[in-house]
Copies of this chain bind each other. A is one copy, B any other.
Amino acid sequence: MAVREKATILDIAREAGVSKSTVSLVLQGSDLIRPETATKVRRAIEQVGYVYNRGAANLRKSQSNVIGMVINDLTNPFFAELAVGMERVFQSAGVVPFIANTAENPVRQEEVLRSLMEQGVGGLIISPARGTAPDAFHRLELAGIPVVFAMRRLPGSRIPAVAPDNRRGAMLATTHLARKGHRRLAFFGGSPDLVVYQDRLGGFREACEAEGIEPENITVIEGETNRRGGMACLETALAAPNPPTAALCFNDAVAFGALLGLRKAGREPGRDFAVVGFDDVAEAEHYMPALTSVSVNTDGLGERAAHMVLKMMQSGTTRAEDHVGAVNLVVRESCGPARTNKVENAR
């Protein structure tokens, strides 16, 4: 078959001996068309090597079923897992979402959003980049495009969000550590510019209070939300005059870093110092030692967000109820066996 000009519905119509209206109706699966005619048209479509021009159709219909997924950091396995959960839903709905990465950069995020709008997206799922301006999604709202926040939300925004119960997750983990006998606790990584951080830290503090941990025995160390940040937090913590014996980490990456830091410091992770992560990424289970972590059901949240945006697109609304996902603590080896106060005080 030789290279040729792109075939259009006119070529199909000619090939099948019908009008282009008929072809269009077949393309849309209308039941106005006699089955034999439809078959004839489909054969012609194959014949001419036709590729549907969705852009032209969208232009005419002035609507679009293109969906965008804007991810803040694709190299973070957690967000990759989230994307996969969403994709599964879209796949069974027969739509191919376009993924874009903002690399945690608000400027890039603006470019990405503009491009997506120019491309005519019909709906969007966004995990906003750190430091996103409050009005970053104003254009989208104005255009009436359904948007859903995943995992992260923006303070004061009316865009619906799908996120885990971060506060409760942090409380579960902190309580677990306290009940194991730890009386000097730390929170590692993250910074207050993320709502997620405020929620997780808030839960940590609340549980500390409930368990009667003395305020002077609570250490909060901000830091990058990756391995490097975790190592740095751990170093800082151990250098303190009266160091903590356990840490809840902002996320699993930070926890992996803390575990690494412990090894470097010659401490036995789990035994000498308890570490708990957050998110329960796939790797947590296979780490050495296996990481205790707050499971947020990443896949499930992804699916939920996908369903939400699909539904909003169908009903033509930009409003929806927030969804707060259940969490639970998955206890593995990194928070070690129970410890008594005696062990803890020996340093």
Contact = CB atoms under 8 A, between A and B. Distances in A.
Interface stretch (A17-25, A95-103, A172-180): A95-103
B101 A84 contact: yes
A117 B66 CA distance: 13
A120 B80 contact: no
A279 interface: no
With most chain B CB atoms within 10 A of its CB, the pick from A75, A81, A111 is A75
Given A117-B51, A142-B49, A143-B6, A100 B101 contact: no
Contact of A119 (B1, B55, B74, B91): B55
A96 B115 contact: yes
A55 B49 contact: no
Nearest to A83: B74
Contacts of A263: 288
Interface string A323-340: 000000000000000000
A116 to B, nearest CB: 8
Nearest to A111: B96
A84 B103 contact: yes
Interface size class of A (residues with CB under 8 A): 35 or more
A58 interface: yes
A267 interface: no
A3 interface: yes
Given A96-B111, A103-B87, A55 B59 contact: yes
A144 interface: yes
Nearest to A281: B75
Contacts of A55: 55-56, 58-59, 119-120
Contacts of A80: 74-75, 80
Interface string A66-104: 100000001101001101100100010001111111010
A220 interface: no
A145 to B, nearest CB: 10
25 contacts: A1-B142, A4-B142, A6-B62, A52-B118, A53-B120, A54-B119, A54-B120, A55-B58, A55-B119, A55-B120, A56-B59, A75-B81, A75-B282, A77-B77, A83-B101, A84-B103, A91-B108, A96-B100, A96-B111, A96-B115, A98-B100, A99-B100, A99-B101, A260-B288, A263-B288
